[in-house]
């Protein structure tokens, strides 16, 4: 890399101390770095002269809602863009494919939010397993509404959970579930030499065979062409009556209409859902009113420590990019 100055697009709130880290790294490689901050107005756009100089971009986790359009408008129009680092783990949006097709290198901060998401998923599991939807409804109605003994929750010990996707989130959820005394079945394309914290491990094509013995189904896999629609009506129906579903992956992995039907007719006892086929979830969706469903607005990863973890990987990759080395969590273009 011979350019004496590296120009990088950063979020509006990119701190002076963060910029100083980039300056120090650039100096060690004999170059300077210029940070161009995304305009504070989400409707504003960078002018063509600034776009002409952009060589790298950082899509940070603290970019406010509505700024994504402005950010990706800029990177799409930057003719010299070489590298984009994204805070998010999922890169299923078409803009990422477009950039890869242009030859732009893409890296992510996959794994930085694994613990918060897994803990949120576990919170949903515990709330459902302990009858909290009933108690929260009673609280809203100001009713001392006891759960009758015949409807007391079953003990989690010995129940089986199937976790689809054993990346950082799935593996952490599996570890937590084992700590609760649950039996854990993991679904992943390839095992990791004894590192998966599960009792049983199977490839995706075995999923339909194991679901009939699972009281819980947790979906933590990325959205790909293979996983889109993976959890369809047939698989959901194969869960035993009274089973629960947790989805902290992507809404498109699940056949949402079938999920609603099975929740309404009582085949499924409940669900914790952080993701949906359409987001924001339309006000007309039946999911809002189902008493056996807990919803969160695609925010299971919320944690103040995320940005620090994201920046750590971004700073490391910035040095690697300057040195022409391989990047951590680099996304390769599919052949």
So which residues are the catalytic ones? 250, 279, 298
End-to-end CA distance of the chain: give it in Å, rounded: 26
Cβ neighbours around 134 below 10 Å, total: 16
Query: Rounded distance, CA 272 to CA 51, Å?
Result: 42
Chain position carrying tokens 């992510």: 108
Query: Rounded distance, CA 78 to CA 94, Å?
Result: 17
Say if CB 232 and CB 253 are below 8 A apart: no
Say if CB 223 and CB 169 are below 8 A apart: no
Stretch (H or E) spanning 70: helix 67-76
Q: Looking at the DSSP assignment, which residues form a beta bridge with residue 107?
A: 85, 330
Chain position carrying tokens 């969706």: 285
**Sheet harboring 160-164: ordered strands across?**
200-202, 183-187, 160-164, 216-219, 243-247, 268-273, 293-295
Return the SS3 of 116.
helix
Q: Is 177 left (phi over 0), alpha (psi -120 to 50) or beta?
A: alpha
User: Pairing between strand 83-86 and 105-108?
Assistant: parallel
Return the SS3 of 164.
strand
CA distance readout (Å), 320 to 1, 25, 202, 212, 325: 12, 10, 36, 47, 5
223: closest CA among 96, 104, 70, 101?
Answer: 96
């Amino acid at each position: 890399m011979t350019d004496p100055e590296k120009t990088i697009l950063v979020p509006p709130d990119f701190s002076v101390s963060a910029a100083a880290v980039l300056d120090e790294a650039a100096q060690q490689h004999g170059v300077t770095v210029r940070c161009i901050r995304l305009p504070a107005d989400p409707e504003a756009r960078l002018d063509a002269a600034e776009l002409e100089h952009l060589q790298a971009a950082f899509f940070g986790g603290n970019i406010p809602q509505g700024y994504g359009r402005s950010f990706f408008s800029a990177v799409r129009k930057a003719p010299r863009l070489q590298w984009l680092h994204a805070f998010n783990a999922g890169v299923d949006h078409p803009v990422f494919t477009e950039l890869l097709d242009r030859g732009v290198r893409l890296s992510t901060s996959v794994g930085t939010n694994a613990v918060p998401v897994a803990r949120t998923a576990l919170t949903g599991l515990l709330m459902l397993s302990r009858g909290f939807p009933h108690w929260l409804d009673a609280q809203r109605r100001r009713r001392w509404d006891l759960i009758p003994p015949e409807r007391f929750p079953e003990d989690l010990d010995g129940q089986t959970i199937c976790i689809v996707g054993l990346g950082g989130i799935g593996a952490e959820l599996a570890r937590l579930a084992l700590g609760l005394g649950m039996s854990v079945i993991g679904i992943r394309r390839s095992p990791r030499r004894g590192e998966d914290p599960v009792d049983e491990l199977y490839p995706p094509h075995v999923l339909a065979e194991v679901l009939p013995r699972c009281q819980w189904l947790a979906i933590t896999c990325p959205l790909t062409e293979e996983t889109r629609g993976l959890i369809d009506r047939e698989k959901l129906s194969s869960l035993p009556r009274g089973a629960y579903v947790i989805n902290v992956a992507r809404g498109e992995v699940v056949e949402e209409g079938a999920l609603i039907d099975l929740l309404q007719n009582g085949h499924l006892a409940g669900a914790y859902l952080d993701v949906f086929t359409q987001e924001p979830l339309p006000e007309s969706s039946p999911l809002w009113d189902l008493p056996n469903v807990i919803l969160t607005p695609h925010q299971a990863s919320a944690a103040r420590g995320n940005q620090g973890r994201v920046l750590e990987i971004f700073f490391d990759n910035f040095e690697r990019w300057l040195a022409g080395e391989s990047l951590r969590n680099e996304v390769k273009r599919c052949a």
